[in-house]
Homo-oligomer: A and B are copies of this chain.
Amino acid sequence: MSLRIALLGLLKESGRASGYDLTKHFEMSSANMWSAKHSQIYPELRKMEADGAVTAEEGGARGKRIYEITVSGTEELRRWLVETDPVRTTRNEAGLRMFLLPLLRPQESVPLLRAEALHYTARKERLCELRPRKMRSIDRYQLRMGEMIMSAFAEWATETADDIERRAAGDVEED
């Protein structure tokens, strides 16, 4: 269900897009909340077309198919947003790894945590840069969320590395 909703959302936001465009979107602003590979996206779009949630226009040079959300698709998206009590679980492999790094010895965990902090700081910076002067509100909101999450992760990694270092320096209790 979620992929379908994510695609409807992206199409609602952007107006018109090809499967390729949508794939790119998932690869990029992956500060995002969802992602998928093209091998899952193309068949899903075909199914949505068959259901009347989107229409396709076989356009352009290279057998490109441009999709657009229909009224029925918009209604479906709206219903899901308003009525659904979403599953409150997350799956974040990079986050899981970061979470578990403190299990390693300080010698190993501290540098890896610092590397994570750098990674997330850099990603945050990149997001800040691509903020153009004129932007639709929703894009701005989503960008802002990306920045907040990257900041939180970077901050956590730094805090945690500092704490581990402090405790390792004062050696003593593994508490």
- Listed in ascending order, the chain A residues whose CB lies under 8 Å from chain B are 2, 5-6, 9, 12-13, 26, 30-35, 77-78, 80-82, 84, 86-104, 108, 112, 134-138, 141-142, 144-145, 148-149, 151-152, 155-156, 159-160, 163-164, 167, 175
Contacts and interface: CB of A to CB of B under 8 A. Distances in A.
A32 B95 contact: yes
B102 A141 contact: yes
Determine which residue in A80, A88, A101 has the highest number of CB atoms from chain B within 10 A of its CB, and name it.
A88
Nearest to A32: B90
A89 B2 contact: no
Stoichiometry, as copies per complex, reads 2
A95 B136 CA distance: 20
The interface residues of chain A, by DSSP majority, are classed as helix
A11 to B, nearest CB: 11
B77 A97 contact: no
Given A30-B89, A31-B90, 18 more contacts: A5-B97, A9-B99, A31-B88, A32-B99, A33-B95, A34-B96, A35-B90, A77-B103, A78-B104, A87-B94, A88-B93, A88-B94, A91-B91, A91-B92, A99-B141, A102-B137, A141-B163, A149-B149
A9 to B, nearest CB: 4
Contacts of A5: 96-97, 100
A78 B91 CA distance: 20
B81 A87 contact: no
A88 B148 CA distance: 16
A2 B99 CA distance: 13
Contacts of A151: 152
Contact of A30 (B33, B77, B90): B90
